[in-house]
Amino acid sequence: EPEVTQTPSHQVTQMGQEVILRCVPISNHLYFYWYRQILGQKVEFLVSFYNNEISEKSEIFDDQFSVERPDGSNFTLKIRSTKLEDSAMYFCASSAFPGIGGQPQHFGDGTRLSIL
Amino acid sequence: GESVGLHLPTLSVQEGDNSIINCAYSNSASDYFIWYKQESGKGPQFIIDIRSNMDKRQGQRVTVLLNKTVKHLSLQIAATQPGDSAVYFCAENMPDSSYKLIFGSGTRLLVRP
């Protein structure tokens, strides 16, 4: 069964450093997403991406964050200058073209980001 | 991918019994709903979905019920197995958005052997 893959599984970074989290969505999917989950809290939407541009972003997704689809298979999340509060699990998800009424989003197993 | 929280409601069931997990969603305009299962160290795993023009949908051993009047979703798991132990999240999607999902806070299901 096709799946979303994320690398690395765990990233430890010093505060202020840049990190890039990588994702390979399911190959025939067209919509891509990043979510995060701070320990003990809900999964929160960060950003959606379609047709090489951001469709929607949350308040969390400020100027420190950016996304890119550098080629036909990868989807990346960059945090330019990490803060302690960026420590969380980051999940990538993808869905087929949603159409009317939505389509399931399929999630990767996440990258645990730890900021020291 | 573990959703560990002191405040997660927990449902404990005997193996073989049926489980019912409930969720109150927030937006009356939401038109699409998904149940996800999250095991320790994993991402959310799709279980079943339902659109707002339905009030019930069945899968293999799972049933989702939707009550739009009171903005309530439930997930029923028949003949619960130890492998069903996980945290379960409902998620809603509103129309006229980029199909972002809004997640509930989750319920931990523990299956006693």
pLDDT of residue A99: 59
High-pLDDT (> 90) share of chain B, % = 76
Spans in chain B with pLDDT lower than 50: 1-6
- What's the confidence (pLDDT) of residue B13? 96
Q: What is the C-alpha separation between A81 and B22, in angstroms, rounded?
A: 39
Q: Which stretch of A48-52, A102-106, B11-15 has the lowest confidence by average pLDDT?
A: A102-106
Inter-chain touch A101–B31, beta carbons under 8 Å: yes
Does B31 sit within 8 Å of A102, measured CB to CB? Answer: yes
* pLDDT score for B45: 95
Q: How far apart are CA A87 and CA A116, in angstroms?
A: 9
Give the pLDDT of residue B78. 97
Residue B60 inside a domain? The answer is yes
B3 contact residues in A (CB cutoff 8 A): 37, 40-41, 43
Question: Can you tell me the mean pLDDT for A50-77?
Answer: 93
Residues from chain A that touch B31, judged by Cβ atoms under 8 A, are: 101-102
In a domain, B19, yes or no: yes
Query: What CATH code is carried by the domain that includes residue B95?
Result: 2.60.40.10
Contact across the interface for B44 and A95, Cβ inside 8 Å: no
For the segment A86-101, what is each residue's pLDDT rounded down to a tens digit? 999 999 999 987 655 6
| B96/A contact by beta carbon, under 8 A | no
Q: How many domains does chain B have?
A: 1
> Does B22 map to a domain?
yes
B99–chain A Cβ distance below 8 A for any pair: yes
pLDDT at B85: 97
CATH of A5-97+106-115, one of 2.60.40.10, 3.40.50.720, 3.30.70.2470, 3.30.300.340: 2.60.40.10
Backbone angles phi, psi at A49, to 5 degrees: -145, 130
Say yes or no to pLDDT of A35 above 50: yes
- Mean pLDDT over A19-43 rounds to 93
Contacts of A23 in chain B (CB under 8 A): none
- CB of A78 within 8 A of CB of A68? yes
Answer yes or no: is B48 within a domain. Answer: yes
Asked if B98's CB is within 8 angstroms of A55's CB, the reply is yes
Domain boundaries, chain A: 5-97+106-115
Interchain CB distance below 8 Å, B103 and A44:
yes
Average confidence (pLDDT) over A22-35: 94
Alpha helices, H only, B1-113: none
CA B24 → CA A101, A112, A116, B69, B73, distances in Å? 19, 29, 37, 11, 6
CB count in 10 Å sphere of residue B27: 12
Q: Would you say residue B8 lies in a domain?
A: no
The predicted model gives A73-83 an average pLDDT of: 96
Average pLDDT over residues A69-73: 88
How many other C-beta atoms are found inside a 10 Å radius of the C-beta of residue B9?
A: 11
Of A42, A58, A107, the CB nearest to B43: A107
Q: pLDDT value at position A100? A: 59
Residue B39 belongs to what domain range? Answer: 14-112
Closest Cβ opposite residue A109 in set B6, B42, B53:
B42
Contact between A42 and B36 using a beta-carbon 8 Å cutoff: no
Residue B2 lies in a domain: no
Using alpha carbons, select from B44, B1, B98 the residue that is nearest to residue A32: B98
Asked if the Cβ–Cβ distance from B6 to A110 is below 8 Å, we say no
